[in-house]
Amino acid sequence: MDLAAFARLLAVGWTLIRADALIPREVDPLLPPGVRTLAAFLRLFSGRAARQGRPGERMARVLEGLGPVGIKLGQVLSTRADIFGKTFAQDLSHLKDKLPPFPTPIAKAEIERELGRPVESLFVKFSAPVAAASIAQAHEAWLADGRKVAVKVLRPGVEAKVAADGRALLLASRLMERFIPDARRLEPVAFSRTVIRALQLELDLRFEAAGASEMAEVMARDPYMRAPAVVWDGVGKRVLTLEWAEGVPLSDPATLDLPGLNRQELADNIIRAFLTQALDHGVFHADLHEGNLFVIPPAKLVAVDFGIVGRLGPMERRYLAEILYGFITRDYQRVARIHFDAGYVPAHHDQEAFAQALRAVGEPVLGRAASEVSMGRLLAQLFEITALFDMRLRPELVLLQKTMVTVEGVARRLEPDHDLWTAAEPVVRRWIARELGPVAQARDFAQEALRAVRALARLAEADAAGRVTVVETRDKSGGLVWFAFGAVASAAAAWLFWALA
């Protein structure tokens, strides 16, 4: 028994009870009588914090106060509207991660310890913090060659705090699995491990440096957004140095009145930047809110903060192309078939009923003016429906959808009548043509055929090594020869098709 974790858990539980966020009064009607009595008893201890706001808001306040683990937990919970309901999830998505900064001399000492050299040997000038959060804070500094840089330094002792709170979270989830049978379906232990894992990566700034450097390369391929270069001399586990992002922060309201600013083009750029990253390159900046964006008039964008990078594999990109195309052409049967064929939706569900549910998502959205079509909202509703059909969503897709909503929000605040669809159209059209056009189909076909041939070759090897039983081989070999022939023939046909297309 981990006593420290248990003590921490009790303390957190007490804070949740004080805010009436452990078993909030709003869920009373859903509870069995025994639990309701327990909840009523606990509520005797609730304080002033319990009177303000919805349950999600009360929970958010408690989690904010807990530091990195609480904040990350809130962020992850906010992606599960399918379990906790939309309002609760939304309330949790506004967690603020702001703390008073720690003193500059301590930051300097951390850097010296981490990089093994005096701060002055790297930075000719090192200023007071410009921003501070629960994990790290950022300073302004200058290199000997005159370049201005941003230096991010982890908060002293943050690793130990995360480790301790992580153990408490894990203990809480183990207790849940043990004593609340209904909760097992949600796999609380696996969930907690995801939260802790995400934080451990964020606590290694070398990892963020790699993300920054990869994203800078990816962004350089298109004209929409840039990232500041990494200064590798100033990178360690607890320190990250990036060139200073030129421009003015988009979070500053005065930015919108900058002379020469082209808001329309800026809004287009952020939408297109995100879509090309995700759809064309399969890796995207997953934290694109105003606080992480800088603007240079007329419409240049620079992004910072690479703590969260999202990735989409070829399968997910293909899936997205298929559903988007299905919705645009209003072919709900097709979208339904894709979900069943890919095994996303378990086969025991009714494909026709699923298609009907998809229509319920698609028609109201597509019936609106093109300017109002939001891909993020469309995806959110699609995911809500798929949850009803037991579809297990890949976390990457949820991250994509969340970021999409954020990005569309930024564009809309820049330009309230911004036509999201017109902005997205060139990128999406090119991507759908590439993913779903004849060339893509021939390519996929050829790849399938190649994979089949390789699998056959492996089978033959296994056979030669005597690892496959005689009966099995004899049973299959006749069919296998024909299958191999077919595979080679289709590969040849696909290649021909591809060469001609």
Ligand X SMILES: Nc1ncnc2c1ncn2[C@@H]1O[C@H](COP(=O)(O)OP(=O)(O)O)[C@@H](O)[C@H]1O
Token digits of residue 69: 């683990």
Binding partner of residue 307 among ligand X, Mg ion, none, CB under 5 to 8 Å per kind? ligand X
- Residue 250: count other Cβ atoms within 10 Å of its Cβ: 24
CA distances from 174 to 103, 167, 184, 320 (A): 38, 10, 10, 35
Select the residue interacting with ligand X from 291, 297, 298, 409 (CB under 6 A): 291
- Of 305 and 408, CB closest to Mg ion: 305
Minimum CB separation of residue 198 from ligand X in Å reads 13
364: tokens are: 């109201």
- DSSP track, 167-187: HHHHHHHHHHHHH-GGGGGG-
Is position 202 an interface residue for Mg ion (rule: CB under 5 A)? no
Does position 119 interact with ligand X (CB under 6 A)? The reply is no
The Cα–Cα gap between 254 and 261 comes to 11
The rounded distance, in Å, linking the Cα atoms of 330 and 341 is: 19
How many chain residues touch ligand X (CB under 6 A)? Answer: 17
Residue 60: which of 15, 5, 28, 14 has the closest Cα?
15
Encoded one letter per residue, x for contact with ligand X by CB under 6 A and - for no contact, window 234-273 reads: --------x-xx---x------------------------
- Least distance to ligand X from the beta carbon of 359, Å? 41
Q: Which does 131 bind (CB under 5 to 8 A by kind): ligand X, Mg ion, none?
A: ligand X
Q: How many residues bind Mg ion (CB under 5 A)?
A: 2
Using the minimum distance from each CB to ligand X, give the nearer residue, 5 or 293: 293
9-18, long-range: CB within 8 Å, 24+ apart, which pairs? Answer: 9/168, 9/171, 9/172, 12/62, 12/66, 12/168, 12/172, 14/45, 15/62, 15/65, 15/66, 16/59, 16/62, 17/42, 17/43, 17/45, 17/46, 18/45, 18/46, 18/47, 18/49, 18/50
Catalytic position from the list 165, 287, 305, 419: 287
- Site for Mg ion, residues 253 to 312, rule: CB under 5 A: 292, 305
User: 434: buried, middle or exposed (CB in 10 Å: 19+, 13-18, 0-12)?
Assistant: middle
Min CB(229)–ligand X separation in Å: 9
For residue 211, state whether it binds ligand X (rule: CB under 6 A): no
By a kind-dependent CB cut-off of 5 to 8 A, residue 136 interacts, out of Mg ion, ligand X, none, with: ligand X
Residues 126-155 within binding reach of ligand X (CB under 6 A): 130-131, 133, 136, 138, 150, 152
- Pair of tokens at residue 85: 């309901």
CB-based contacts of 48-52 (< 8 A; 24+ apart in sequence):
49/18, 49/19, 49/20, 50/18, 50/19, 50/20, 50/21
Q: Can residue 307 be called a binding residue for ligand X (CB under 6 A)? A: yes
Residue closer to ligand X, measured from CB, 94 or 368? 94
> CB of 413: closest distance to ligand X in angstroms?
17
- Tell whether residue 419 is a contact of Mg ion (CB under 5 A): no
User: Which of Mg ion, ligand X, none lies near 152, with the C-beta cut-off 5 to 8 A by kind?
Assistant: ligand X
Only one of the segments 45-53, 301-309, 369-377, 413-421 lies at the binding site for ligand X (rule: CB under 6 A); that segment is: 301-309
Shortest spacing between CB 469 and Mg ion, in angstroms:
59
Find the binder of ligand X among 92, 304, 355, 446 (CB under 6 A): 304
Within residues 150-189, the interface with ligand X by CB under 6 A covers 150, 152
Please, are residues 333 and 326 in contact by the beta-carbon 8 Å criterion? no
228 binds, among ligand X, Mg ion, none (CB under 5 to 8 A by kind): ligand X
Compare residues 269 and 292 and give the one whose CB is closer to ligand X.
Answer: 292
Q: Which two tokens stand for residue 42?
A: 């606990």
CA distance 20 to 114: 43
For the chain, how are helix, strand and coil distributed in percent, rounded to 5?
Answer: 65, 10, 25
Please, which residue, 13 or 291, has the CB nearer to ligand X? 291
Q: Could you confirm whether 287 is annotated as catalytic?
A: yes
165 binds Mg ion (CB under 5 A): no
Residue 256 contacts residue 414 (beta carbons within 8 Å): yes
Q: Which residues bind to Mg ion, rule: CB under 5 A? A: 292, 305
Q: Which residues bind to ligand X, rule: CB under 6 A? A: 130-131, 133, 136, 138, 150, 152, 228, 242, 244-245, 249, 291-292, 304-305, 307
Q: Catalytic site residues?
A: 287
